[in-house]
Structure 1
Amino acid sequence: MRYYLGLDNGGTNTKAALFTPDGTQVAVESVATAALTPAPGFVERDMEDMWRDNCAVIRGVLEKSGVRAEEIAGVGLCGHGKGLYLWGKDGKSARRGILSADNRAWKYLVEWRKDGTEERAFALSCQHVMACQPVSLLAWLRDNEPETMKNIRWVFECKDYVRFRLTGEARAEITDSSGSGLMDLHTKSFSKELLSLFGIESVWDALPPLCASLDIAGHITPEAAALTGLLPGTPVIGGMFDIDACALAVNVTDETNICMIAGTWSINEYPRRAPITDGSVLMNSLFCLPGYYLIEESSPTSAGNNQWFIDRLLPELKAEAKTAGKSIYDILNDWVDSFAPGDFVPVFLPFLTASNVDPRARAAFVGLNASHSRREMARAVYEGITFSHRYHLDRLMRSRPDRSGTIRLAGGAARSKVWTQMFADVMNMPVETVSAEETGALGCCVAVAAALGDYKDAADAAAHMCRSVSRVLPRPDAAKVYEEKYALYLKTIECLNALWPDMQRFMEEHHA
């Protein structure tokens, strides 16, 4: 039998999954991402722990499935985009990795927007600068950790670091690299001019050679084989940004439909033959299919907020769920489903780690009263996250002639019927979900299948390996009510805009 191994290094979990050539998921192994928050706005990860986690999930999925190492035809990887993973000249990680939820460099965004740096950079990169991009984080390190900057041998994205440990080959894959702020999207190469604009010229020689998603970028080394259980010499493809992988997994391979990913990040995207260069969307990057660009609106304002709500405000719910023989998400879904769209619940702003409106904005429940319980708050969290996706969708739709097409939904929300219906109602568009739960890993395996010649190309592989299992239509009455609620959400943000600078100033003065 022939299998593909997909590795998905996200902001929440590290996963390994095995798929067959027809797209059947055989087994999955997962461990939680051990994120560290040493200061407000900082989100980091120990890179050695990260490597050990990848080795552990690979060993685990092989053991769980009973699949032999020689049956693995190839390995594909994806990982969260943005963030920063540095390898030192001394042959070990130069510092902790920085995840994409990190917001430490927000001040640079404010400065670059004021002095025109962002506008000049956009002409080359075709993307607005974000605090979590390598360009911003490298500028922060230049000013705050100069010794780290001197020790950099390689600048990696998340999954490129994992591939480096698996193969010993340093490569920068194009979908991730084109979202880093370091690449000229017109020439499809790293840009010295961009590095100069951001004042980080010193890392030019630390940018690895570029490779494409479907390139064979290396092979499993004997050392990695001993740690993972894989066969030495097993081919490893370039892989891709996890949002590209999810688009493949839900079979969004052209301009027809929209891919939404409700995970740690709110990802909203579609492939297009040309980038949008008028500044109306957040980002353009190279898509994993040749000839396409990925048009993206995103922010860390999605289901990661729901996980915080569970962990911090509902710690006893896990015990309740176990007693009831349910998952904690089943209970939350029941709570949320007990309200009608027109029932008033507080407005929740899902800005726990960062926002999509102002880099200083913070999360909030607005409109709480004494009659409200954790049930109303749970409903508010679901709605607030969905409204954040709607905010991004409206920006995406500026570049499309109408609201035709379907939303293909992936991520945690796609596993909830009530949340999927909420997405359809709030967006006022049909929403489809797919059979595979591990969409990131499936997208990797779609790419492996194409890279090894088992299908004509990645689009052909996606068409054969990805299956839509549900289609949910918007309910006209609910859509009308949500339109009013969404207007309240936007008005809440507008009213609080004047607060964020003062709140940020107070926190800095008091070292909050």
Structure 2
Amino acid sequence: MEKYLIGIDAGTSMVKSVVFDDEGNELAVGRQKTTVLNPRPNWDEQDMLEVWEAVVITVNEAVAKSGVPAKDICAIGVTGQGDGCWLIDEEGEPVRPAILWSDGRAGDLIARWQAEGISENAYKILGSALFPGVQAAIIKWLDENEPETLAKSRRALYCKDWLKYKLTGEITTDETDGCVPHFDIAKRQYSEELLKMYGTVKYRYLLPPVKTPLENYAPLTDEAASLLGLPSGIPVVGGPFDVIATATGVGAIHPGDACSIIGTTCFNEVVMDGPYIEPLNVGFTMCHGFAGLWVRAMGVMMGTPNLDWILAQVGRTYEEEAAKRNMSFYDVVEEHVKGLDIGAGGIIYHPYLSASGERAPFVKPTARAQFFGITATHNRDNLVRAVYEGVGFAMMDCYQYIPIKINRVRISGGGAQSAFWCQLLSDMTGLPLEVPEGSEFGAKGTALVAGVVVGLYENIEEAVKKTVRLERQYQPDMEKTKRARAFYTLYRRLYEHVWDDWDLLQDILMQRF
């Protein structure tokens, strides 16, 4: 009898459930959008029950589309957005809407921790830079601004932990989610010293028990099984969280393997055989999903949304041309911009669109996106090209701070669908890039972990060998790489020069005239 796996990936704005066969083929996908709430400027929240309902809808949709008999589903893997704070009470109900990784309300708190040396001291234990969306900052902000919320709370979870709880009734987290911001990263366990630094020792009880992803499973409850139309009792695995699950799903499981996710974020990560944290005070050092492995990562807050934004401003004529020529919108856009040299005719773009600032390779809550070098000779093609390149410069910036020999870079996310962008990123970074077959790599990664748990694969190495195949490869043009490196020097100097000006802008905006 054939066996199948379900991978659930609860992203920031979309929940996806995918049915996989044992060779890693995506048989069917269910998708459901979820709402990011913005009750105040710089606040990003989510209705926890809406996310759970989206899981129920998408699992049912994916299984129905696949045609796979429910009895042949042998395990479920759950992954989701990382960081943030998903609070539940004694009854296991949401205390308030989840506060997301992208939320900026704790920006002033992070600035205070930086000024007081707390961030720097924490980094020596944690190996990761603190930013407004980490759980410790959110808990401390709630302590100072919503203490009644914490008084009602039993546990502080992450997205995938909340969903695993709804599926199994078990409250846990895994090493990949739990490590930032509460771990002694070398020991892979909670650090009481960090809690003292953050001033959150009295909320120690909120932190759930930690397991490795291969240990973090429990049986699907009768109630959840009834909602999903699946057999009760099958294992539900929680983790790894989305970026680590994606690394697993594209096959980045050995030291030196790299993975870049060109999606909502521009997330760049390299697998390591030790908890290496240098250079200090930049980026993140996290647990991989497997013993003896860590990940060094730099996650730019926004990736493809930069392109969405610029095309929303100047894309009308591209749309009209695409309709007239019966072509894809993005094919028309890329036809226009691919003829321009790296440097976009002298325009530099910094892709710091997030209202909560930037977190990699530097933490700056007031950082903002900006164009530099525009003249009357430039047009929309130059601006759009500069935005494509801006994400590439951010990717270069991240890998600059990951001093580890890279074997290969696997690319995923919406940006990986663009052959033009993939080649541009290879040219800019000077790195060979590989695009695996498939599209839902976060769901795939957590499904593979679930497959190991139930014995479908002997170990994760066998799972990757059996299920990960390459679709496309790109080699860099080193002459273009030289040009990109020259502009990258300017890219960095520019944001260093306006560092304090970002703060001044924030101060002016906060004033009442």
TM range (shorter): over 0.9
Question: Secondary structure of 2:448's match?
Answer: helix
What's the TM-score, normalizing by structure 2? Answer: 0.93
Q: Contact 2:255 / 2:293 at 8 angstroms: preserved in 1? A: no
What is the CA–CA distance in structure 1 between the aligned matches of 2:325 and 2:94, rounded to whole Å?
45
Correspondence for 1:221: 221
What is the CA–CA distance in structure 2 between the aligned matches of 1:480 and 1:278, rounded to whole Å?
26
Instruction: Give the residue type in structure 1 aligned to 2:232.
Output: P
Correspondence for 2:285: 284
1:391 aligns with 2:393: no
Question: Secondary structure of 2:438's match?
Answer: coil
Correspondence for 1:160: 161
Correspondence for 2:62: 61
Q: Alpha-carbon deviations, 1:331-354, whole Å to 9, x = none?
A: 433333243335415322111112
Q: Contact 1:302 / 1:389 at 8 angstroms: preserved in 2? A: no
What is the CA–CA distance in structure 2 between the aligned matches of 1:138 and 1:372, rounded to whole Å?
47
What is the CA–CA distance in structure 2 between the aligned matches of 1:335 and 1:462, rounded to whole Å?
38
| % identical aligned pairs | 29
Instruction: Give the residue type in structure 1 aligned to 2:427.
Output: D
Correspondence for 1:465: 467
Deviation at 1:314, TM superposition (A): 4.2
Correspondence for 1:476: 478
Q: Contact 1:127 / 1:284 at 8 angstroms: preserved in 2? A: yes
Q: Contact 1:85 / 1:155 at 8 angstroms: preserved in 2? A: yes
Q: 2:371 aligns with which of 357, 365, 373?
A: 365
What is the CA–CA distance in structure 1 between the aligned matches of 2:121 and 2:471, rounded to whole Å?
45
Instruction: Give the residue type in structure 2 aligned to 1:375.
Output: D
Deviation at 1:4, TM superposition (A): 0.6
Unaligned runs of 5+ in 1: none
Deviation at 1:329, TM superposition (A): 3.6
1:248 aligns with 2:248: yes
Equivalent residues in 2 for 1:127-276, closer than 5 Å: 127-179=128-180, 181-215=181-215, 217-276=217-276
Instruction: Give the residue type in structure 2 aligned to 1:487.
Output: T
Q: Contact 2:345 / 2:378 at 8 angstroms: preserved in 1? A: no
Q: Contact 2:235 / 2:454 at 8 angstroms: preserved in 1? A: no
> CA distance change for structure 1 residues 491 and 119 in 2, over 3 Å: closer, same or farther?
closer
Question: Secondary structure of 2:275's match?
Answer: coil
Correspondence for 2:499: 497
Correspondence for 1:47: 48
Deviation at 1:488, TM superposition (A): 2.5
Deviation at 1:434, TM superposition (A): 0.3
What is the CA–CA distance in structure 1 between the aligned matches of 2:327 and 2:97, rounded to whole Å?
37
Question: Secondary structure of 2:154's match?
Answer: strand
Instruction: Give the residue type in structure 1 aligned to 2:20.
Output: F
Q: Contact 2:87 / 2:98 at 8 angstroms: preserved in 1? A: yes
Unaligned runs of 5+ in 2: none
Question: Secondary structure of 1:391's match?
Answer: helix
Deviation at 1:170, TM superposition (A): 0.7
Correspondence for 1:79: 80
Q: Alpha-carbon deviations, 1:481-510, whole Å to 9, x = none?
A: 212222222232123223111101112224
Q: Alpha-carbon deviations, 1:366-411, whole Å to 9, x = none?
A: 23334444333221211101111110100002xx2x5x52211111
> CA distance change for structure 1 residues 452 and 408 in 2, over 3 Å: closer, same or farther?
same
Question: Secondary structure of 1:471's match?
Answer: strand
What is the CA–CA distance in structure 2 between the aligned matches of 1:316 and 1:9, rounded to whole Å?
35
Q: Alpha-carbon deviations, 1:407-433, whole Å to 9, x = none?
A: 111112211101100110111111111
> CA distance change for structure 1 residues 485 and 48 in 2, over 3 Å: closer, same or farther?
same
Correspondence for 1:19: 20
Moved more, 341-350 or 325-334: 325-334
Correspondence for 1:410: 412
Q: Contact 1:433 / 1:468 at 8 angstroms: preserved in 2? A: yes
Instruction: Give the residue type in structure 1 aligned to 2:23.
Output: D
Instruction: Give the residue type in structure 2 aligned to 1:245.
Output: A
What is the CA–CA distance in structure 1 between the aligned matches of 2:501 and 2:486, rounded to whole Å?
24
> CA distance change for structure 1 residues 423 and 141 in 2, over 3 Å: closer, same or farther?
same
> CA distance change for structure 1 residues 71 and 371 in 2, over 3 Å: closer, same or farther?
farther
Moved more, 224-233 or 499-508: 224-233
Correspondence for 1:487: 489
What is the CA–CA distance in structure 1 between the aligned matches of 2:58 and 2:35, rounded to whole Å?
14
Correspondence for 1:379: 385
> CA distance change for structure 1 residues 312 and 234 in 2, over 3 Å: closer, same or farther?
farther
Q: Contact 1:113 / 1:119 at 8 angstroms: preserved in 2? A: yes
Correspondence for 1:102: 103
> CA distance change for structure 1 residues 368 and 231 in 2, over 3 Å: closer, same or farther?
farther
What's the TM-score, normalizing by structure 1? Answer: 0.93
Question: Secondary structure of 1:57's match?
Answer: helix
What is the CA–CA distance in structure 2 between the aligned matches of 1:107 and 1:226, rounded to whole Å?
45
What is the CA–CA distance in structure 1 between the aligned matches of 2:173 and 2:477, rounded to whole Å?
45
